Amino acid sequence: MTPLAGNYALEVINLKKAFGGLSVTQDVSLVIKPGERRLIIGPNGAGKTTLFNQITGDMRPNSGTIKLFGVDVTKLKPYKRAHLGLSRTYQIITLFNHDSLEHNVALGLLGLRPARWQMWLPLSHYNDLATAARRTLDAVGLLHLAQCPVSDIAYGEKRRVELAMALAQKPRVLLLDEPLAGLSNTERSQVKSLITSIPRETTVIMIEHDMDTALDLAESVTLLNYGRIIVDGDRDSVIADERTREVYLGA
Amino acid sequence: MKWIAASAIAALLLVLPYLAGDFYINLASQILIAAVFALSLNLLVGYGGMTSLGHASYLGVAAYVSALMASRYGIGHGTAAIISIAGTTTMAAFFGLIALRASGLGFLMITLALSQVLWGLAYRMSGVTNGDNGIAGLTRPTPFGISLESAASFYWFALIVASFAFLMMATFVSSAFGSSLKGVRDQSRRMAALGFNPWMIRWITFIYAGFWGGVSGLLYVYYNKYIHPSSLSTTSSAEALLGVIAGGSGTLGGPVVGAALVLLLKNYASAYIERWNMLLGLVFLLIVLVMPTCIVPGFSKLATALRKGSR
């Protein structure tokens, strides 16, 4: 292995996954540099979320290798990958409905601390967690709702809580699964500027259908179709590529 | 409001042995024992989202181990209690490894199957357990030389143990670990993505619930001075589960109220009708129909609504 091997934030090598006879990931290989903003596009059913689920460990690939900063994580459980600096948001909102926004974000912070095994003192005892949670909520513009239960807030706000939970962990690699889905125009530009403001220490990989907004955020683009990488490269060349038009931009 | 209710209950518990006769004091002791058992089951069902139909295993095994050591080997109560709780907790760790390979219905069936194995052993291994005759002629311990033979003295003993158990379990579920546990119950995948180990969190809770199940088993065998395979039966597990759900799972008061309800029904109704189980079923049905969130959450909702209304 060359010393350069550790220079990628994420490496996916010959990844294959099939559900019965249906191949959802067909020999996918891609490398992402630290700090890169990568957009993953493709029609519905192209295998984008399945690829994410394999990167996070929610799903085991049939074969292939996944490396995070040079470390082979292919067989690691999802929580261990989180401790290596991997974080994600979900396409379908996955929050703790009965708990306050602050509790949701603080829980995310607790996940990376040894205090999560603490059986004596309550979560609210950790003021630093609450402070950090409130700071992140402020960054996404939801501080005024910090004490509201998630079930009481609007859909667009929930999307931002999803983002806040991931951002609070200060991940090294952040996977965003359709962060703009179902948002109004105003909310969309809010979330867009939020994603723009993510520090460069964090590598961002994003699945998004809203091309107008997403292309502004990306430096490089990967186009998936039927579980296969069709085009992969910097933004302009992928947009210009004929195959992109054919598969995705279509009309 | 909450404090008033809590102090009222505390006051009632403290004056009860001075006001009531032996029958009621004994009934109260039984409720305390059932409450500890229900609270330990609630750790799994209410806070962990792991519905177990085999929790009687821990009560029964702790009771049997203590009974056998005292009657067969003449080991003192203190040592017997430590060995029986340690054994029950170890058994919970082992059973947890098996049961937590599944979740939901699979988990329920495995816990049921494991408890059936133990029940079968207690019945059939009559050379050791005395089979259907059970083990009789046991004694109560004498902590610090104090006899627990009278109804009142046993009540005080049960009250101290039950209060301690309640506090310990309340601390557990309100701790940072308790927050993780509730998170795993609600969104296990998300919790894993956040860095929590859902399996380990469930397993630790399973063991802790087994430990307190064992403590309730010791109280049970001390109170009855007798143990029978039926304490390991599915009926015994299901009754506790019914109590937890009727009272309100995932709350601290719910299992206590539920356990009291089941015990009172059993004691009073069985005097008038033979099929008291049928009545229990009807009461349960009524609770679910009238208060879908069950007794304790239902009443606290009602109280909040009334308070808002009066303003």
| A110/A107 Cα distance (integer angstroms) | 5
Which residues share a beta bridge with A63? Answer: A16
A67 CB neighbour count, 10 Å cutoff: 18
pLDDT at A124 over 60: yes
- B29 interfacial to chain A (CB closer than 8 Å): no
What pLDDT was estimated at residue B308?
A: 80
Give the pLDDT of residue B234: 93
Structure tokens at A137: 């909520």
| Beta strand ranges found along A33-100 (DSSP E) | 37-41, 63-68, 71-72, 86-88
In which band, very low, low, confident or very high, does the pLDDT at B47 lie, cut at 50, 70 and 90?
very high
DSSP A246: I
Q: Which two tokens stand for residue B207?
A: 């063991």
Indicate if the pLDDT at residue B238 is higher than 60: yes
Order of strands, sheet of A10-19, starting from the edge strand that comes earlier in the sequence: A22-32, A10-19, A63-68, A71-72
What residues contact A209, with CB distance under 8 A and at least 6 apart?
A41, A178, A180, A181
The confidence score (pLDDT) of residue A44 equals: 87
All residues of chain B having their beta carbon less than 8 Å from the beta carbon of residue A97 are 186
Count CB atoms within 10 A of the CB of residue B72. 11
> CA gyration radius for chain B?
20
Location of each CATH 3.40.50.300 domain in chain A: 1-85+171-182+202-251
Interface of B with A in 151-190 (CB under 8 A): 171-172, 174-180, 182-183, 186-187, 189-190
- Strand A220-225 versus strand A228-234 pairing type: antiparallel
pLDDT recorded at residue A56: 96
pLDDT classification of A6: cutoffs 50, 70, 90: low
**pLDDT tens-place string over residues B274-292:** 787 788 888 888 888 888 8
pLDDT number for residue A251 = 43
DSSP of B152-182: HHHHHHHHHHHHHHHHHHHHHHHSHHHHHHH
Does B180 contact A115 at a Cβ distance shorter than 8 Å?
no
Indicate the pairing of strand A37-41 with strand A203-207.
parallel
Q: What is residue A21's predicted lDDT score, i.e. its pLDDT? A: 87
Residue B269 banded pLDDT, cuts 50, 70, 90: confident
Percent over 90 (pLDDT), chain A? 76
List residues of A whose CB lies inside 8 A of any B CB.
56-58, 77-79, 82-83, 87-88, 90, 94-98, 103, 107-108, 110-112, 115-123, 125-126, 165, 169
- Interface probe, candidates A103, A116, A126, chain B, greatest B C-beta count within 10 A: A116
What are the tens digits of pLDDT across the range B61-96?
999 999 999 988 989 999 999 999 999 999 999 999
Mean pLDDT of chain B: 93
**Scanning the structure block, which residue is given the tokens 């979330």?**
A191
Query: Average pLDDT of chain A?
Result: 91
Instruction: Kindly state the percentage of chain B with pLDDT values over 70.
Output: 99
d(Cα B215, Cα B176) in Å, to the nearest integer? Answer: 24
Compute the average pLDDT of residues A149-168: 94
Question: What pLDDT is recorded for position A3?
Answer: 44
Instruction: Please calculate the CA angle A50-A51-A52 and round it to the nearest 5 degrees.
Output: 90
The tokens for B278 are 């049928």
Give the pLDDT mean for B286-304.
85
Does the distance separating the beta carbons of A58 and B189 come in below 8 Å? Answer: yes
CATH number, span A1-85+171-182+202-251 = 3.40.50.300
